Amino acid sequence: MAKQVLVCSSCGEVHQSTTSPASICPKCRGVLLFKYDLSPVANTLSREILATRSPSFWKFIEVLPLTSSKNIVSLGEPFTPLLQFTLGRGRYSNLWLKDDGRLPTGTFKARGMAVAVSTLKELGVSQVAVPSAGNAAAALTAYGARAGMQVFVFMPNDTPPRIIDECVHMGAKVHLVDGSISAAGQAMKKYGADHNWFDVSTNKQPYRYEGYKVAAYEIAEQFSWNPPDHILFPTGGGEGVIGLWKGFQELCELGWTKHIPRLTIVQSSGCAPLVTAFYENQREVEEPWKNPNTIAVGLKVPHPYGSYLVLRAVRETKGTAIQVADEEILSSMKTLWTNGIYVCPEAASTLAALEQALTENIIANDEKILLYLTGTALKYPDPFKG
Ligand SMILES: Cc1ncc(COP(=O)(O)O)c(C=O)c1O
Ligand SMILES: [Zn+2]
């Protein structure tokens, strides 16, 4: 609701945020981000006022791109649990978990799609489409159904069957594609010529970040406005990390927090293009990852669009990039599961990365660390069965 423009994160061109939906920068194809005039928000809203509002996602409406709260499309988005975690006989002295498996459709993707669908509805969009490794498709399907939109999803045919069923049952037109999310994106482009849908692809529109950014506000408030030193985030396309970074930047601009956590991306060694680009000092992922293969399907993004922005988020916050083998992910999953936290492989990768980082002294064990758990295990096949 704050006054806003769209700024290209690559060439810097400022675009007025108009009444038609925006995709990428028309000048250079860079990623567009909303930029708000935050001073009126800082003058009228405060941490004290926020404390009087119920702990829901939409309490931060002043910093979202919607013009009216009447257009909110909601399935009930609570603050997700923040849990202190004790593990390894005190080896982790200050470790926290954020469990986004509690959101509608069971993953953090609900955040991005809640805001994207609400804003697009306000702009008059009635058809939406996305290529997805599964969870973004389920979230778009759910919010699209709630908004009365027609939803088209394109997924690899090895997407967990329950996620495919979820999309079918909630009314999406589901297309399954041989290959990874890149092939799904190409198939969508082919069909797109005959359709009038808005493309909600990862990093190709400015709306979904605004939902992930709410996680930064939520984390800040849950930590009494003194956020953790370091956040480990399972990363595929990178929207989650970019959104968090954007949120923490805004919080500092508003004067509500004093620092931005280090943002560390975690990938599977079966598909780690961002980690490779980070260590090879590339500005963006230059080559698509060949033969991507991991049980963490959401991390199987061989050539993420707009990868320069993910790498910028990591470098500017002095985070790092870690890859973990699927066996390490499985072992961390067991650890979390046997502590009552039933997360999917993508989420468990963060604990595997932390183990590695502590062993290699990349992270000091007195840092206040948050593992961002992006989803529930309930929708995935049992990885310990044949
Ligand atoms: C459960 C889960 N965690 C993490 C990710 C990675 O998110 P992002 O594409 O924003 O990097 C995904 C992506 O699909 C996912 O489904
Ligand atoms: Zn541009």
Could you tell which of 97, 103, 107 is best to mutate to test the pocket of ligand 1, judged by most ligand atoms within 8 Å of the CB?
107
Residue 363 Cα to ligand 1 middle (Å): 23
Residues 1-32 have pLDDT tens digits of: 678 899 999 999 999 877 889 999 999 999 99
pLDDT of residue 86: 80
Residues 203-252 have pLDDT tens digits of: 999 999 999 999 999 999 999 999 999 999 999 999 999 999 999 999 99
Instruction: Report how far residue 74's alpha carbon sits from residue 60's, in angstroms, rounded to the nearest whole number.
Output: 14
Strands (E) across the chain are located at 4-8, 14-16, 32-36, 82-85, 95-99, 127-131, 150-156, 173-177, 198-199, 230-234, 262-268, 321-324, 369-373
Give the residues surrounding ligand 1 with Cβ less than 6 Å away. Answer: 107, 109, 133, 135-136, 202, 234-240, 298-299, 344, 346, 374-375
Residue 367 Cα to ligand 1 middle (Å): 25
Nearest CA to 351 out of 89, 87, 102, 135 is that of 87
Nearest protein Cα to ligand 1, atom 16: 298
What is the mean pLDDT of the segment spanning 257-269? 98
Query: What does 155-195 look like in DSSP terms, one character per residue?
Result: EETTS-HHHHHHHHHTT-EEEEESSSHHHHHHHHHHHHTT-
Residues 56-100 have pLDDT tens digits of: 999 999 999 999 999 999 999 999 999 998 876 666 778 999 999
Give me the CATH code for the 109-199 domain, please.
3.40.50.1100
Could you tell which of 235, 266, 307 is best to mutate to test the pocket of ligand 1, judged by most ligand atoms within 8 Å of the CB?
235
What is the mean pLDDT of the segment spanning 281-295? 96
What is the mean pLDDT of the segment spanning 162-190? 96
For residue 26, give the ligand nearest its CA.
Answer: 2
Instruction: Report how far residue 218's alpha carbon sits from residue 225's, in angstroms, rounded to the nearest whole number.
Output: 9
pLDDT of residue 91: 66
Instruction: Report how far residue 290's alpha carbon sits from residue 258's, in angstroms, rounded to the nearest whole number.
Output: 41
Q: Which atom of ligand 1 is nearest to the CA of 236?
A: 11
Q: Where are the domains of the chain?
A: 4-71, 82-107+208-373, 109-199
Question: Is it the case that residue 363 has pLDDT exceeding 90?
Answer: no
Instruction: Report how far residue 130's alpha carbon sits from residue 147's, in angstroms, rounded to the nearest whole number.
Output: 16
Q: Which atom of ligand 1 is nearest to the CA of 240?
A: 10
Q: What is the model's pTM?
A: 0.97
Residue 109 Cα to ligand 1 middle (Å): 7
Nearest protein Cα to ligand 1, atom 12: 298
What is the mean pLDDT of the segment spanning 168-184? 96
Establish whether domains 82-107+208-373 and 109-199 are of one fold: yes
Structure tokens at 6: 């769209």
Instruction: Report how far residue 360's alpha carbon sits from residue 318's, in angstroms, rounded to the nearest whole number.
Output: 17
pLDDT band at 194 (very low <50, low <70, confident <90, very high): confident
Contacts of 359 (CB under 8 A, 6+ apart): none
Nearest CA to 120 out of 146, 153, 147 is that of 147
Give me the CATH code for the 82-107+208-373 domain, please.
3.40.50.1100
* Mean pLDDT score of the chain: 95
